[in-house]
Amino acid sequence: MINVTKTYLPNKERYKQYVDEIYANGWITNNGPMVRELEKRLAEYLGVKNIVLVANGTLALEIAYRTLDIKGFAITTPFSFVATTSSLVTNGILPIFTDIDSHTLNIDPKNIEKLITPNTSAIVPVHIFGNGCEVEVIEQIAKEHNLKVIYDAAHAFDVRFKGQSILNYGNISTLSFHATKLFHTIEGGALVINDDDLVEKARYLINFGIENPESIPHLGTNAKMNEFEAAMGLCMLDELESINQKRKEVYEIYQKELDSFVEFQKQNENSTKNYSYFPVMFENEKQLLKVQTALNKKEIFPRRYFYQSLDTLDYIEPKQICKISRDISKRILCLPIYPELENETQFRIIQIIKEVL
């Protein structure tokens, strides 16, 4: 069975060494040495100032909103994984959806300004499939209207914009280190905090709001990463270069072979790729379903990322309509891409798609 992705498991001996270390010092959670080491190494690797590791990418978003005191409305994209929106709703913030650009699939900055009201306190864009948003335009809008910007950068691990980490834009960027993501810690996530004076607050919030054993000034939660997860991250970091090289090879084969058959996502020229997804757009949903059925018959399971468009979620009131996002979500499919995908399998996938089209 071939799925859209396959969790990468790093060298087992290396992981065992870390586990031995954890057993030796008996510290398994609560900001242990492995978590601290991973924070340090990730900050260096990514080229960012402050990293706070957390239990998952959804909690990273929630902690980001709470750290920045986001209230009222947040302008966000309807074309993303559901956690981008559900994390807002959970925190009592109303998502105001602004439609996407039909080619880049990111929030279209042209649509943001007309949605701003006195109740708006934030913009929550997503670098979808790792494609960098128009970060400079968004920054300008946020400045003019005194809004905070939180990037859901779950897909943008190690993406660079004009030579520096794209995570350095906005007030906070959040990452997901779930097993299906490019870089993973089994379950996990992180906040990249650009305002130095907010780091301490975020650290209290992930640990029940406790500042010291006798003072609990914040309303916090439990969002801590544990040592076994951090150890997995340390192992992944050691192998990232070769993982990325293999992903790049798979990506480039799809690109070359499918060029005249389907539409690709338009890349932001100022941002680098991380080869984490390979989305393709068909002419319509019917065509997509035909391809999907043909692949499924051969035990190949691409995923309809992202379906449904988030402006169609039942629990969002008032109802909003983003036409472009709804249209794209019906005709986009993410093809299998992971380091161990065999050449022969990939060409089989390509052949099936070509035959159907």
Q: Which residues bind ligand PLP (CB under 6 A)?
A: 56-58, 80-81, 83-84, 126, 152, 154-155, 176, 178, 189
Two tokens at 151? Answer: 């990037």
Give me the amino acid identity at 89: V
Measure the CA–CA gap between 185 and 190, rounded to whole angstroms. 11
Q: Which is nearer to ligand PLP, 126 or 250 (CB)?
A: 126
Give me the amino acid identity at 72: G
Task: Locate the DSSP E strands across the chain.
Answer: 2-3, 51-54, 73-76, 94-97, 120-124, 148-152, 160-161, 164-165, 172-176, 189-193, 263-264, 279-281, 300-301, 332-334
Site of tokens 């335009």: 137
Q: Which is nearer to ligand PLP, 108 or 152 (CB)?
A: 152
Q: Which is nearer to ligand PLP, 152 or 229 (CB)?
A: 152
> Whole-number minimum distance, CB 73 to ligand PLP, in Å?
19
> Whole-number minimum distance, CB 306 to ligand PLP, in Å?
8
Q: Which is nearer to ligand PLP, 129 or 253 (CB)?
A: 129
Give the residue nearest to ligand PLP (CB): 57
Q: Which residues pair with 172 in a beta bridge?
A: 150, 193
Measure the CA–CA gap between 17 and 244, rounded to whole angstroms. 24
Q: Which is nearer to ligand PLP, 258 or 328 (CB)?
A: 328
> Whole-number minimum distance, CB 61 to ligand PLP, in Å?
7
Residue 188 φ then ψ, to 5°: 165, 175
> Whole-number minimum distance, CB 236 to ligand PLP, in Å?
15
R_g over Cα of the chain: 20
Widest distance between CA atoms in the chain? 68
Q: Which is nearer to ligand PLP, 258 or 334 (CB)?
A: 334
Q: Which residues pair with 107 in a beta bridge?
A: 100
> Whole-number minimum distance, CB 126 to ligand PLP, in Å?
5
> Whole-number minimum distance, CB 351 to ligand PLP, in Å?
29
